[in-house]
């Protein structure tokens, strides 16, 4: 049965008591709205179709982000990157109540990131995917009575076209000269070029997993969750043998420190458009140019599909023309 009372603020509060549910209460601007809600709610209770969504009024999207950062993010390999992304997301959308968030709010966030923050389409897609997964976890695992995932109701921007940056003649020498005063980064860059390994994979290397005599190393845990054996060229062996064996890992450097040192070196020598991940592009392309087939390159780099290899591999047309005769 519903009871109504007018509050000092002029708003109307309605309370419903039923043996089939816990007491319910909600406040409206007018008595007409309160009566309309009460009739609908009592009808749903009578039919056994009522779902208590009051928790959505008191929970913000920021609350979901906080819980996600504690329970879900630490289990991911990219936890540090996601931690930064979600904290930035909380600053922009964390205040919104779950009962109020609609697909138009996610769309507005998308447009703001694209047009005001001038983020790339690929970056915004990652943001939207993060929002969507948070809602999915909240619905499926945490039991929040959210009817629909609003992030799945909007259009995503186009992803960026794959980079095709290759090292031109003399650029590697310039880069190495620029890194001359940075301990360890030179070796990391050269090892990446010889093996096609990711930055995270190089930093995970332990001496116990290096087999110089047999010319390979083992990556027990890679980005895609599988272990991988990486063959070592003579140049790669030379690089590894020159390192000191003072620690368990080959390199004791933080990922962000590598990125910053790489950027500074590129600026110093005039390679402003070069990124560390471009070295993996270059290595992968060189493997193909050496005559290795797709399966052999995939075994070295860890790419799972031909599509992924095409994303990273950009062979020079002039070199392919020479093979055609």
| Positions marked catalytic | 198, 223, 277, 280, 303, 312
Q: Which residue has the tokens 């930064």?
A: 84
CA distances from 264 to 182, 236, 277, 301 (A): 10, 25, 15, 27
- Cα Dmax for the chain: 90
Cβ atoms of 272 and 169 closer than 8 Å: no
Cβ-contact 313, 281 below 8 angstroms: yes
With the C-alpha atoms ordered 206, 210, 216, 218, is the resulting torsion angle positive or negative?
A: negative
DSSP H or E segment with residue 210: strand 210-211
216-219 sheet: strands from edge to edge: 210-211, 216-219, 228-231
User: Around Cβ 33, how many Cβ atoms within 10 Å?
Assistant: 15
**92 burial via Cβ count (<10 Å: 0-12, 13-18, 19+):** middle
Task: For residue 25, give the 3-state DSSP assignment.
Answer: strand
Percentage helix, strand, coil for the chain under 3-state DSSP, each rounded to 5: 55, 10, 35
Length of the chain: 325
The conformational region for residue 48 under phi > 0 = left, psi -120 to 50 = alpha, else beta, is: left
Write out the H or E segment, with its range, that includes residue 257. Answer: helix 255-269
Query: Using CA atoms, how far apart are residues 200 and 197, in angstroms rounded to an integer?
Result: 8
CA distance 140 to 214: 48
């Amino acid at each position: 049965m519903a009871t109504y009372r007018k509050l000092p603020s002029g708003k109307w509060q309605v309370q419903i008591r039923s043996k089939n549910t816990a007491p319910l209460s909600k406040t409206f601007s007018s008595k007409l709205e309160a009566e309309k809600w009460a009739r609908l709610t009592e009808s749903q209770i009578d039919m056994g179709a009522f779902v208590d969504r009051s928790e959505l009024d008191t929970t913000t999207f920021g609350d979901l982000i906080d819980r996600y950062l504690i329970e879900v993010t630490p289990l991911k390999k990219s936890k540090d990157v996601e931690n930064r992304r979600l904290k930035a997301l909380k600053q922009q959308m964390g205040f919104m109540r779950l009962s109020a968030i609609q697909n138009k709010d996610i769309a507005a966030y998308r447009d703001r990131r694209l047009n005001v923050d001038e983020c790339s389409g690929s970056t915004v897609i990652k943001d939207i995917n993060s929002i969507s997964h948070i809602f999915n976890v909240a619905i499926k695992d945490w039991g929040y009575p959210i009817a629909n995932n609003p992030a799945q109701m909007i259009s995503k921007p186009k992803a960026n076209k794959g980079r095709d940056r290759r090292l031109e003649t003399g650029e590697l020498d310039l880069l190495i000269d620029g890194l001359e005063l940075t301990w360890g980064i030179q070796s990391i860059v050269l090892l990446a070029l010889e093996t096609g390994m990711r930055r995270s994979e190089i930093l995970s290397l332990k001496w116990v997993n290096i087999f110089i005599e047999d010319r390979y190393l083992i990556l027990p845990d890679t980005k895609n969750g599988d272990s991988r054996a990486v063959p070592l060229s003579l140049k790669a062996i030379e690089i590894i043998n020159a390192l000191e064996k003072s620690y368990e890992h080959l390199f004791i450097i933080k990922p962000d420190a590598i990125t910053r040192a790489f950027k500074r070196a590129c600026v110093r020598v005039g390679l402003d458009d070069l990124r560390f991940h471009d070295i993996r592009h270059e290595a992968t392309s060189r493997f193909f140019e050496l005559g290795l087939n797709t399966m052999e390159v995939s075994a070295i780099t860890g790419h799972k599909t031909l599509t992924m290899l095409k994303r990273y591999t950009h062979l020079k047309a002039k070199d392919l023309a020479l093979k055609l005769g």
